[in-house]
Chains A and B, each alone.
Chain A
Amino acid sequence: PDPPFGSGRNSPTMVYLAMVAKGDVVIYEAKLPGPSTTKNPPENQLQFIVHQALDSLDQKIKSNSHMYLKEVDRFNNMPVSAFVTAGHVKFLLLYHAGTLEDGAIKQFFTELYKNYVKVCMNPFYLKNTPISSAIFADRIYMLARNYFLR
């Protein structure tokens, strides 16, 4: 049976997604279902890890013109994978090493980008503000399930 949305919070396995806009404003973050059985890092560390990764990411952006930047940083045994949109919004994915394939992450990011663009097309959405749409959250959860759970 499918776990109800939100149970990802209490499940032992997860992938952490953060979407960061201009000025390092986090416009979306979520714990998504993942295949790993390793214990998650504590909550307060997650944000710290992501912000640390942003610095490494900024360095990489200068030299790399691709949108998908693969691994930009690593915390203990957890890599951070990054994707930068044309509008310089950064998607960061924190996961347990060896549990996710490069191809799956890239496809996830591409689909996430499409969904992000749809949010931007909503006349009521203000740029660089947190995304509160439940429809968006559900879609991202489903994407994670499709690409990360084998």
Chain B
Amino acid sequence: PASHLLPPPHQPPLPLGAAPAVWKMSLAKMARLGDATFEKMDKVNSELLAMTYGAMVTTLIKDFQDIKTVNEELEKMGHNIGVRLIDEFLAKSGITQCRNLKDTAHSIAKIGFKMFLGINAEVAWSSNPRQFSIEFKGNPLIEFVELPEEYKDLDYSNILCGVIRGALSMVQMVVTTHLQRSELKGDPLTEIQVTLQKVNAEKVKGDDD
């Protein structure tokens, strides 16, 4: 998967202390790239998406009964989507290779969420350098949804956590994700926490394999 990425364009060497300015430019550029890619994408009616997803979640609840299992199933489905989505993400956005975790986080928030869901997401950092959060308001999946009391432990948008985990797994990053806050549960915004577990070395198949 990563082998088809173009090498990063040649950058002049940076003087010490120039990193923050470069970083800011990079972020704005990513946001513009996200918007541009969003324009190129085929669109589908957001109400149709919301209702289809809602029907699927309620069917899962009916089938499995146990909310914890439903959360896991949603995450698994997301993972399956993510491992395929990454190719479309890389191809349509034309993004160059991420230099570090910060780049990865911002590309998910500014490009990924924008092009696939039309959501303007932000990145938040904690004291843990291997952990970041994707935060956003206005999730198209939860349009019209009100969580009943008996399903208060349901991570309705858990599929998004799986998508992030699956997509990153294909670019050699092993992460765990968790739906930390949710607008459906009364929080002011939705927060997906991403924790980097390890980075895999790229396996290059030899001629003998």
Contacts and interface: CB of A to CB of B under 8 A. Distances in A.
B23 interface: no
B125 interface: no
Majority SS at the chain B contact face: helix
B147 A123 contact: no
Contacts of A123: 51, 54-55, 57-58, 144-145
Nearest to A133: B146
Given A122-B144, A123-B58, A124-B145, 9 more contacts: A121-B47, A121-B143, A121-B144, A122-B145, A123-B51, A123-B55, A123-B144, A123-B145, A124-B146
B15 interface: no
A62 to B, nearest CB: 33
B51 A124 contact: no
Majority SS at the chain A contact face: loop
7 contacts: A121-B47, A122-B144, A123-B51, A124-B54, A124-B146, A124-B148, A124-B151
Contacts of B51: 121, 123
Contact of B58 (A124, A132, A135): A124
Interface in B136-150: 143-148
Q: Which of the listed residues A121, A133, A135 has the most CB atoms from chain B within 10 Å of its own CB?
A: A121
A123 B147 CA distance: 9
A133 B151 CA distance: 14
A124 B55 contact: no
